[in-house]
Amino acid sequence: MEYNYAVAQVLVLDMSNWNILISVILIFGGMIFVSPATLAEDESISMADPSLCAAADVTELVTFVRSAVAYAQDNGSELALKEFSNKTGSFVDGDLYIYAYDFNGTNVGHPFKDWIGKDKLNETDSNGVLYIRDLIDVSRDGEGFTYFIFPNPAHDNRDEFKIGYAMKVDDDWWLGSGLYLSDISASFDQAEKEDLVAFVEEARQFARENGREMSLEVFNDPAGDFTRGGRYIFAYDYEGMTLALPHQPELVGTSRIDAQDVNGVDFIQRAIDTAKMGSGFLYYVYPDTSRDMNQALKFSYVVDVDGTWFLGSGIYSQV
């Protein structure tokens, strides 16, 4: 493949910054093996449906982006951005292509969208996820994964669920690419989303009116007022300490700041970043209490409570 530029550089990995791949799923002999960290620190949780997992393709995605970053660093932004914006160039390979942004959310390179020079900071996907902000957050940390819905140029620009990977080039700009997970439905009914928002906002009002201690006692009760029809309230502080998790009480009082889902998405950190904006949506793969704790795609809404902690809830994809 043409994107093998500087593969020798790309594959020299600093393991201290590469813990994301520890969670990558290994497929062997028809069995799926997941690291203990991936299982949300609870061995009783069932493994994810294989259709939810990017598996070995994640390695190809990461190598692709790292190769593009190496190319940009070696050749300079002008030449690199010209190449990244060429739909027949060396950094377009099937579903994989490179897009580029500065840290203000302005697009500086894209092979399929007429977005260059446009501010996309508040761009949302079809479910209201601020995915450019999410990608900025992970690239500010150096590199990382997140999810969103985006048109797939290989499928007539049909909206499809995607796992994105972003990496900082330098302090001015970053690059990203992604894998389309075409078999996953991430379409949620508008009424269901509105009910989710109303449920979380009700919980926030309850917390503000009754205080942290009393509200957390209620949120942690699996038979309490805020456990309804498969929905429940989770809560964390901004250091990642678990405050409420009614169906996994053993995790309350523990730090989950480094928790990752089956695809290496740091979902607690992503929830923190979203809540710091006041409120917002995000996706991740997580055990579903209505499916015997089998993991499924979850669409969550989180809100800040008082600047020291946040709460949220989610709904699961039915496919």
Domain termination residue (choose one: 180, 207, 227): 180
Q: Are residues 124 and 222 in the same domain?
A: no
Q: Are residues 174 and 264 in the same domain?
A: no
State the pLDDT at residue 31: 32
Q: Flag whether pLDDT at 74 surpasses 90.
A: yes
Q: Are residues 165 and 64 in the same domain?
A: yes
Q: Per residue in 81-113, pLDDT tens?
A: 999 999 999 999 988 999 999 999 999 999 999
C-beta separation of 290 from 230 below 8 A: yes
Q: Are residues 147 and 196 in the same domain?
A: no
Break the chain down into helix, strand, coil percent, rounded to 5: 30, 30, 40
Domain termination residue (choose one: 180, 206, 234): 180
Q: Which domain holds residue 205?
A: 190-316
Residue 230's pLDDT band (cuts 50, 70, 90) = confident
Q: Are residues 171 and 288 in the same domain?
A: no
Residue 55's pLDDT band (cuts 50, 70, 90) = low
Model pTM score: 0.84
In a domain, 105, yes or no: yes
In a domain, 38, yes or no: no
C-beta separation of 10 from 67 below 8 A: yes
Q: Rounded to the nearest 10 degrees, what angle do helices 131-140 and 267-275 cross at?
A: 120
In a domain, 2, yes or no: no
Work out the end-to-end distance of the chain between its first and last CA atoms, rounded to an integer number of angstroms: 33
State the pLDDT at residue 54: 63
CA dist., res. 141 & res. 136, Å (int)? 9
Report the chain's C-alpha Rg in angstroms: 20
Which CATH number is 251's domain given?
A: 3.30.450.20
CA dist., res. 10 & res. 70, Å (int)? 7
Backbone angles phi, psi at 308, to 5 degrees: -115, -20
Q: Are residues 140 and 204 in the same domain?
A: no
Q: Rounded to the nearest 10 degrees, what angle do helices 77-84 and 57-75 cross at?
A: 140
CA dist., res. 267 & res. 76, Å (int)? 33
Q: How many distinct structural domains can be found in the chain?
A: 2
